[in-house]
Structure 1
Amino acid sequence: MNASDQEPGLYAAREPIFPKRVSGKFRNLKWIIMAVTLGIYYLTPWIRWDRGPSLPDQAVLVDIANRRFFFFMIEIWPHEFYFVAGLLIMAGLGLFLFTSALGRVWCGYACPQTVWTDLFILVERWIEGDRNARLRLHRQKKWDFRKVRLRLTKYITWVLIGLATGGAWVFYFTDAPQLLQDLVFGTAHPIAYTTIAVMTFTTVFFGAIAREQICIYACPWPRIQAAMMDEETLTVGYREWRGEPRGKGKRTTDSELGDCIDCMACVNVCPVGIDIRDGQQLECITCALCIDACDEMMEKIGKPRGLVDYLAVGDEAYETAGNPPRSIWKHHFLRPRTILYTALWSLVGILLVVALFMRTDIDLTVAPVRNPVFVTLSDGTIRNTYEVRLRNKHGDDRPFTISIKGDPTMRVELEGTPESTVMVPADQMKLQRVYVLAPNGSVPAEGNRTEFRIWVEDATNGDRVYKDTVFNGKAR
């Protein structure tokens, strides 16, 4: 059997991509977003915030041991996970909104895979040179001293970036300065070292080695985005009516050639290695670097910018007829789909803010003890037992006073203390057994249940919360 008769393989071998450096407004925007996002990620654990004597003074802290999350003045407890769920819903709606308006703009500018890949490519360009220099080094078969030196320098720098990424991640879970000291002196918990090692490997593999393969094969969003887009969604495209036919010949007024001179500038700067002139493709992350490259070339040959631009499917037929470009806001942004996503996103955000300001710094749960349901004492008094969990969200110990409201004949006693006040430690939950007693004959016989309310008051500032429950018993 000849080699030409063999069936093609299931997967094509990866062709390394060496994007060329480009300058322009979209590339500058990507630099800004990269600097801001990486700065937030690496520096946030070092922002100090007074958390009291029992917690690290860290502005953003994920307290796994006590199952809490701190974000500056906001503290999220396990029972308030709905805040996290709400933020995730807002993130999803925001992604839908931006995709319906501007395609995969998240992928092209703010996705962590894109940001770190840009960082690794930047390091590679600094060390090995721009596209042509990197291509020559890649095709060089002989591993001379220069190639070994450049590659070793690049790999070491990549690993250092991965270490910084993994290190920054673990700093979010404990006191950053103390953990850094423990890591340096080898006294940190093995989990910290393991996490940093895993994060270093995944960061280098995803961002430096796999690169665009993660976006093409591992990420599900390219397959989902089509459901979020329609013919009015702006995405990077090629004005074929203006650029074709391509050619490098001399352009005159009567020339049959289009504006595209087939210089391949748009292909050479693409981080996923596609040709935008072939139309919309799954691999395109809408980073718009091809727009910068094409605009730069159009200026050099004296042609109008915008041969490659943010376009919608509906724009092509409209512009082909000789009409001027349509209003971006009217035809692309202010549409029923984008308005709906914006309204839903805003609604969830408003509800979260309202819930945040309505919550108190104390909380309680009441669980009646059902075994037995009630106890009759020797003097005929009926006693019910309740397990009350008191949660103190303050940074200092607080005295909580427990009282009841309902049948005036009922009274409350606390296990372990003759008083009705219990001290709850700072940032902790205390389980307190509470006895509610009713004298003989005071409980209605019908239904054998009396509704009442347990009140808890912070004796320091007067904050109050309550829970409704029932008293079980039988009158003689």
Structure 2
Amino acid sequence: MANLDPSPATATAAHPDKGAAAPEHRLYAKREPVFNRRIDGPFRRFKWFVMVVTLAIYYATPWLRWDRGPYAPDQAVLIDLANRRFYMFGIEIWPHEFYFVAGLLIMAGIGLFLVTSAVGRAWCGYACPQTVWTDLFQHIDRLIDGDRNARFRLYKAPWGPSKIARRLLKWAIYLAISFATGGAWILYFADAPGLMRDFFSGNAAPVAYATVAILTATTFVLGGFLREQVCIYMCPWPRIQSAMLDEKSLIVTYKNWRGEPRASVKKAEKNPGQFGDCVDCNQCVAVCPTGIDIREGPQIGCITCALCIDACDRVMKDIGRPRGLIDYATLEDCKREQAGEAPRPVWRSLMHTRTLVYSGIWAAIGFAMLFALGTRARTDITVAADRNPPYMLLSDGSIRNAYTVKLRNMQNRPRDMKIALDGLPGAVMWTDDMPREKAVRDLIRKVPADTTDVVRLYVVAPEGTVPQEYGFTVQSLDEAAETDRSDIRFEGPETSQ
């Protein structure tokens, strides 16, 4: 449905056996800097809103506090790799609950499919980190070098004191933003105030400095100098999304049947009815952050930011022609409009089968995760039997098995937990910190807050006990009274059967 050739540039090479030159297709075109013009309009203001919100969330989130009591960190969002925990406000994810993280990643992927199927590359145009930081750096360009024409003149000007000073100032601001970006990232992995103090006092871990250096460098280079090259050549998503669009997807579209043939306003006035609405002002190209011409049709460089719509609508208003020459539209609606029919409302365009399927899957996974999160137990027991030896025969003929038991207290307070044997008649148990003479069928352990307590347990059964399945149960001795069970096999001599 679209020309998605990322390398429209061609070169000619002379063939020694032919007099004519043949085009040579290149996989990569040398970057030509894009000097996009400032524009104001609904889509530009929406980009401003998204940029401010996303940057505020990224930089401010590590500094938010959340009271979890005296036994847990008070950082609202924290990826605690040292203790293998993930905290997000009132939610705490343990290593054995990684399926929640997997579910979030699946929801993010399906959400991306949903957005692309419904409104094209809106993620790329507004919320992608590459887009957000590139947009920020382009505003720095305008602040230091001026708008489009001034930046172009400075780019072509020879190097001199003025140009060097402007470049150094601009690159210094790039570097400061890039350093803040890398510095904010590491704050998600440790207590933000403490890590910040350690970082600037030289006491932070080497991995913190290495991470900040890498992220500073990548942000500086990708946002400051590669920009649209990342979207066209480095990112795989533009190529994937082309398979997810169809004639029912809303995309930024140039209505060529209405705009062609192009002519200036004066020429069109002299020849009424012979030319289309496009006055060939190139404003749609001038404002594009990737420098493409939307009038050439959908292409891989279009990130669906819709700034060309703002520019074209302004021109149409100035010359007294209807807006929408460049617009968000489906190919189906474009055919209807070309045939003289009224276009469908936007909400109707969003209600096609693929979008509804993606929405249903996304919502189902979300509800399933909420249900699992709301019903999960905060108490857990796992039991692992010793393998060598699997059992021991004691002098009185009884049989002993040894186990490593892990009691997990997922609450932010210490709790007493009762461990009991379920099955295995006549058996009793004891731990390393109690004598065998005090062996019992159940015992109580105090498990610290937000901790997995490892206990060595010994279970002895009377002489003649045959190998069999039984279980350990645990119950929290608080108002929640949560329980869990772990099944295990009691090993013994087969001759006892």
Separation in 2 of the partners of 1:319 and 1:189? 62
Residue identity in the other structure for 2:458: Y
Identify the match of residue 57 of structure 1 among 59, 62, 74.
74
Please report how far the alpha carbon of residue 55 of structure 1 lies from its aligned counterpart in structure 2 after TM superposition: 4.8
Identify the match of residue 239 of structure 1 among 255, 271, 283.
255
* Structure 2 contact 13–24 (Cα < 8 Å) conserved: no
Find out whether 1:152 has 2:163 as its counterpart.
Answer: no
Residue identity in the other structure for 2:329: L
Separation in 1 of the partners of 2:471 and 2:29? 70
Find out whether 1:456 has 2:474 as its counterpart.
Answer: yes
Give the alignment of 1:21-100 within 5 angstroms. 21-53=38-70, 55-100=72-117
Task: Identify the range of structure 1 (127-136 vs 375-384) with the bigger mean alpha-carbon deviation.
Answer: 375-384
**What is residue 462 of structure 2 aligned with on the other side?**
439
Please report how far the alpha carbon of residue 198 of structure 1 lies from its aligned counterpart in structure 2 after TM superposition: 0.8
Find out whether 1:183 has 2:192 as its counterpart.
Answer: no
Find out whether 1:103 has 2:120 as its counterpart.
Answer: yes
Please report how far the alpha carbon of residue 373 of structure 1 lies from its aligned counterpart in structure 2 after TM superposition: 2.3
Please report how far the alpha carbon of residue 52 of structure 1 lies from its aligned counterpart in structure 2 after TM superposition: 4.5
* Structure 2 contact 113–244 (Cα < 8 Å) conserved: yes
* Structure 2 contact 258–325 (Cα < 8 Å) conserved: yes
* Structure 1 contact 56–174 (Cα < 8 Å) conserved: no
Deviations 1:443-463, CA, capped at 9 Å, x for gaps: 3xxxx3332221112234432
* Structure 1 contact 385–436 (Cα < 8 Å) conserved: yes
Separation in 2 of the partners of 1:458 and 1:17? 64
Deviations 1:121-162, CA, capped at 9 Å, x for gaps: 111111111111111111111x33322222111110000000
Find out whether 1:223 has 2:212 as its counterpart.
Answer: no
Match of 1:431, SS state, is strand
Deviations 1:194-218, CA, capped at 9 Å, x for gaps: 1111110001111111000000000
Residue identity in the other structure for 1:179: L
**What is residue 282 of structure 1 aligned with on the other side?**
300
Please report how far the alpha carbon of residue 381 of structure 1 lies from its aligned counterpart in structure 2 after TM superposition: 1.8
Q: CA RMSD in A?
A: 1.9
Match of 1:172, SS state, is helix
Task: Identify the range of structure 1 (61-70 vs 4-13) with the bigger mean alpha-carbon deviation.
Answer: 4-13
Please report how far the alpha carbon of residue 51 of structure 1 lies from its aligned counterpart in structure 2 after TM superposition: 4.2
**What is residue 336 of structure 2 aligned with on the other side?**
318
Separation in 2 of the partners of 1:393 and 1:73? 13
**TM-score normalised to the size of structure 2?**
0.90
Residue identity in the other structure for 2:462: P
Match of 1:81, SS state, is helix
Identify the match of residue 411 of structure 2 among 369, 386, 394.
394
Judging changes above 3 Å, is the alpha-carbon distance between structure 1 residues 383 and 327 closer, same or farther for their aligned structure 2 residues?
Answer: same
**What is residue 367 of structure 2 aligned with on the other side?**
350
Identify the match of residue 211 of structure 2 among 195, 199, 205.
195
Identify the match of residue 358 of structure 2 among 292, 317, 341.
341
Task: Identify the range of structure 1 (37-46 vs 354-363) with the bigger mean alpha-carbon deviation.
Answer: 354-363
Please report how far the alpha carbon of residue 317 of structure 1 lies from its aligned counterpart in structure 2 after TM superposition: 2.0
Please report how far the alpha carbon of residue 187 of structure 1 lies from its aligned counterpart in structure 2 after TM superposition: 2.1
**What is residue 488 of structure 2 aligned with on the other side?**
469
Q: What runs of 5+ residues in structure 2 fail to find an aligned partner?
A: 1-11, 16-22
Residue identity in the other structure for 2:491: N
**What is residue 451 of structure 2 aligned with on the other side?**
428
Find out whether 1:405 has 2:422 as its counterpart.
Answer: yes
**What is residue 119 of structure 1 aligned with on the other side?**
136
Please report how far the alpha carbon of residue 73 of structure 1 lies from its aligned counterpart in structure 2 after TM superposition: 1.2
Identify the match of residue 206 of structure 1 among 222, 236, 239.
222
**TM-score normalised to the size of structure 1?**
0.94
Identify the match of residue 15 of structure 1 among 14, 32, 46.
32
Task: Identify the range of structure 1 (276-285 vs 53-62) with the bigger mean alpha-carbon deviation.
Answer: 53-62
Separation in 2 of the partners of 1:61 and 1:182? 17
* Structure 2 contact 381–473 (Cα < 8 Å) conserved: no
Aligned length: 467
Task: Identify the range of structure 1 (307-316 vs 91-100) with the bigger mean alpha-carbon deviation.
Answer: 307-316
Match of 2:472, SS state, is strand
